[in-house]
Amino acid sequence: QVQLVESGGGLVQPGGSLRLSCSASGRIFSIYNMAWYRQAPGSQRDLVASITNGRVTNYADSVKGRFTISRDHAKNTVYLQMNSLTLDDTAVYYCNVYYRLAGRSYDYWGQGTQVTVSG
């Protein structure tokens, strides 16, 4: 069982920045593939950005050039730096880890952190 603890959400004005953090439990962080998803009210949960265990990144078109995902293996933490935030970025952001081990797939979610862009 992997536990994910997210932090860094909050209220920010349009054009502002936030950095989300997600700390993962477990001794095999290096094999985790990590991702951030978001879900706005009345909408489905969508992928925002992902980073593989080899640090290959992928972004939703709507955040390319504004958001950056990174990971720190020493701290078992993945980050999402969000710049130039717009009203459309308002959502609950969820951290996700997925990996395969000994032929099995594993998929875990954090509790979510609210990001509100307003002002």
> What pLDDT, on the 0 to 100 scale, is given for residue 28?
79
Choose the weakest-confidence range: 12-16, 27-31, 107-111.
Answer: 27-31
- 30 versus 52: the higher-pLDDT residue is 52
CB 19 within 8 A of CB 78: no
Closest by CA position to 68, among listed 12, 9, 109, 17: 17
Instruction: Convert the pLDDT of each residue in 6-19 to its tens digit.
Output: 999 999 999 999 99
Instruction: Convert the pLDDT of each residue in 62-101 to its tens digit.
Output: 999 999 999 998 899 999 999 999 999 999 999 999 999 8
Tokens 């980050």 appear where? 79
Does the pLDDT at position 29 exceed 90?
Answer: no
C-alpha angle with apex 36: 66 to 51, nearest 5 degrees? 80
| Sheet containing 67-72: order of strands | 4-7, 18-24, 77-82, 67-72
Does the pLDDT at position 1 exceed 90?
Answer: no
Let me know how many helices (H) and strands (E) the chain has, helices first. Answer: 0, 11
Instruction: Convert the pLDDT of each residue in 36-65 to its tens digit.
Output: 999 999 999 999 999 999 999 999 999 999
